[in-house]
């Protein structure tokens, strides 16, 4: 064992429910019910994974496992590690984010093309970098889907932070200058874990609020946000089916 080997590793037991190659991670609890319905799941398909809900159907070869909620990089990384050891190889992440630029509106969709690291979890997955990336294969699948569907989404870099209540104006300005158009709490760590474990990953984010102006603008209860989430649900459901197809 080398000095860089972890002492504790994700494992499966004799009774561990395995998942198929495709998995969908939903950060926020309100997205679970509509996504489970779109993916054809019922309460009978639901079980626990840590403190999240895991939906799977071991009798459907084309089903995509669904798991959530997971807030924050450390816990999201734990969930992703568990999905990978259970068999997931192509993973989608659906989350919410805050806009950093004024031309992003509540309900807009973002496809992160890179994630600037502002959290600590990814530092445990070598190589240690300041920016992490999605997988080329999943990005290609996203682009193909957007070309076929009447869904608008913007590809750009985002910033991932650990400090939900410590996003300062200086930080926002700094990450704006580095090209980030939004901020979330999971994506850069998930990209780092996936690269380290050599699996594919991509993300879809819905703008839920804005830090681009003089004061914080929440949009969680607006019709625009509900509409954006619905579009995101449609997009990731199509992607789950597409990712099951042979390359």
The predicted-structure confidence for 8-45, as pLDDT tens digits, reads as follows 999 888 888 899 999 999 999 999 999 999 999 999 99
142-155 pLDDT tens trace: 999 999 999 999 99
Q: What is the pLDDT of residue 1?
A: 45
- For 127, which DSSP code? S
**For range 154-163, the mean pLDDT:** 97
- Global pTM reads 0.96
Neighbours of 32 (CB within 10 A): 19
What band does 206 get if pLDDT is binned at 50, 70 and 90?
A: very high
pLDDT(215) > 50: yes
Locus of tokens 């198929």 = 20
Tokens of 150: 């009447």
Please report the domains of the chain, with CATH numbers, ordered by start residue: 22-243 (3.40.50.1580)
- Asked if residues 244 and 21 have their Cβ atoms less than 8 Å apart, the reply is yes
How far apart are the two ends of the chain, measured CA to CA in Å? 35
Neighbours of 81 (CB within 10 A): 16
Residue 190 pLDDT greater than 80, yes or no: yes
């Amino acid at each position: 064992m080398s000095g860089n080997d972890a002492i504790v590793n994700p494992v499966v037991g004799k009774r561990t429910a395995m998942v198929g190659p495709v998995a969908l991670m939903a950060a926020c609890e309100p997205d679970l019910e509509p996504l489970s319905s779109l993916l054809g799941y019922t309460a009978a398909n639901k079980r626990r994974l840590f403190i999240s809900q895991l939906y799977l159907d071991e009798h459907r070869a084309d089903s995509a496992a669904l798991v959530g909620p997971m807030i924050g990089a450390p816990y999201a990384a734990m969930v992703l590690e568990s999905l990978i050891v259970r068999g997931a190889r192509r993973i989608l992440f659906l989350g919410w984010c805050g806009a950093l630029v004024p031309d992003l509106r509540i309900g807009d969709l973002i496809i992160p093309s890179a994630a600037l690291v502002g959290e600590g979890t990814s530092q445990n997955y070598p190589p240690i970098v300041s920016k992490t990336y999605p997988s080329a294969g999943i990005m290609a699948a996203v682009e193909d889907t957007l070309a076929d569907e009447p869904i608008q989404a913007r590809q750009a870099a985002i910033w991932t932070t650990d400090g939900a209540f410590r996003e300062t104006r200086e930080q926002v300005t700094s990450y704006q200058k580095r090209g980030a158009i939004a901020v979330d709490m999971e994506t850069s760590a998930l990209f780092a874990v996936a690269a380290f474990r050599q699996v594919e990953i991509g993300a879809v984010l819905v703008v839920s609020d804005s830090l681009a102006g003089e004061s914080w603008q929440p949009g969680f209860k607006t019709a625009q946000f509900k509409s954006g989430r619905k579009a995101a649900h449609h997009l990731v459901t199509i992607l789950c089916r597409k990712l099951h197809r042979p390359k």
